[in-house]
Amino acid sequence: MFIIRFILVGFLVGLVLPSQAKDIEPVHYAYSNYLGSGVYHTTGQDVTLINLPFSLALGKKGAITYGLRLPVSLGFFDFSFEDIPDLDLPDSVGTFSFTPGIQFNYQYTKNLVIESYLDLGYARNLTTNRNVLIHSGGISSLYSFMINKYDSIWASRIYYAGYDGHNYDAGDLYAAIQVGIDTGLPIKYQLFGYIFQPRVFATAFWYFTEVDFDLSIKSTQSALEESKVTLSNSFEFGVTIKFDKTIGYSWAEIDTIGLGYRFSKNINVVRLLFTFPI
C-alpha cells in the first residue's frame, strides 16, 4: 500500500535573489530527507521544498516487517510560506531528489522496536543542470513506556548521509546521533469527529563532524561572496496532536499534526509536522 504524506519543508541552503538562482549550487539540498522537515532560515536566506515521503509496505515475517522507502523532494528557490495566502505559486522547480531504499522493522520486545534503512538515490539542481548521487543508512530504537499516566516513546538514532557529484568534483559526508522523547498527555479531545491526544516532544542531534554549508550571499558592496555556516549540533522541542485513527485515504494518510522549533548556531527552524516528530 502506498502511503503519501505531503510535508512542506524548508531546507538550509544558500539562496540569493530569484534572478540570480541560476548562479547558485546548493549541493546540500541532497540532505533534504535526512536533516529533517521544516522551514529553515539562516543568514537571512530561505528555500522551500515539498517533500513527498512515498513508501510501500512489502510484507511481514514473524517479528520483522519490511518495505520500500521512495521519498521525493522538490525545491523552489522563489517560493516561501509568505506566498501561500496570495496564491503566488512558483513557476519552476529548482531542485529534485529521489532517494529510494529499503527498511526493516524488528519488534524486539513488546515495548521495543528496532528500525533500519539503507538508501541510494539521486538529486539534481535544475538551475545548474548538475547531479549528485546520494547514499544514506541508519538504525534506530523506539522504546515505549509509561511515566505515571503519561505514555512516552524514547527514540535513539544513528545514521549517516552523503553525496558525490556526478561528472564534477563535489562531495560531502556526515554522521549523526539523535535522541529524544515524545510524551502524550493523559487527556483526549475530539475535533470534527476525530479523537486526538495532545503530545509534547524534545530531541537533540549531535554530528560526528561538522556539516559545512557554503552560502552565496550579498556583501555590502552588492557583490556575491561565499560565507560558510557549520552545523555541529541542534536541538528541538514542539507539540503535536495524534489522532486515534488516520485521516485521509489509504494513499494519503496522516495520523499526526504538529509544530516544532529547531535551533542551533546560525539556524532557526519552524517545522510543520505530519509524522512522528523524532
Show Cβ contacts of residue 150 under 8 Å, excluding neighbours closer than 6 positions.
Answer: 183, 184, 185, 186
Domain spans of the chain, in order of start: 7-273
Show Cβ contacts of residue 212 under 8 Å, excluding neighbours closer than 6 positions.
Answer: 172, 228, 229, 230
pLDDT digits (tens, 9 = 90+) for 3-27: 333 333 333 333 322 333 333 444 4
pLDDT in the model for residue 172: 82
Burial of 172-193, coded b for 16+ CB within 10 Å and e otherwise, reads bebbbebebbbbbeeeeeeeee
Cα separation of the two ends of the chain: 23
Map residue 93 onto helix, strand or coil. Answer: coil
pLDDT in the model for residue 240: 95
pLDDT in the model for residue 229: 60
d(CA 82, CA 68): 34
Average pLDDT, the chain: 76
Which comes out higher in pLDDT, residue 217 or 212? 212
Q: Which helix H or strand E contains 220, and what residues bound it?
A: none
Of the ranges 151-155, 205-209, 213-217, 260-264, which is most confident?
151-155
Q: Which helix H or strand E contains 238, and what residues bound it?
A: strand 224-249
Of the ranges 48-52, 204-208, 217-221, which is most confident?
204-208
Burial of 23-32, coded b for 16+ CB within 10 Å and e otherwise, reads ebbbbbbbbb
Q: What are the phi and psi torsion angles at 29 (to 5°)?
A: -60, -20
pLDDT digits (tens, 9 = 90+) for 53-68: 777 888 999 999 999 9
Task: Kindly give the pairing relationship between strand 7-10 and strand 112-125.
Answer: unpaired
- The answer, yes or no, to whether residue 248 has pLDDT greater than 60, is yes
pLDDT digits (tens, 9 = 90+) for 156-195: 999 999 998 888 887 888 899 999 999 999 999 998 888 9
* CATH architecture assigned to 7-273: Beta Barrel (2.40)
Which comes out higher in pLDDT, residue 258 or 28? 258
What's this model's pTM, rounded to 2 decimal places? 0.76
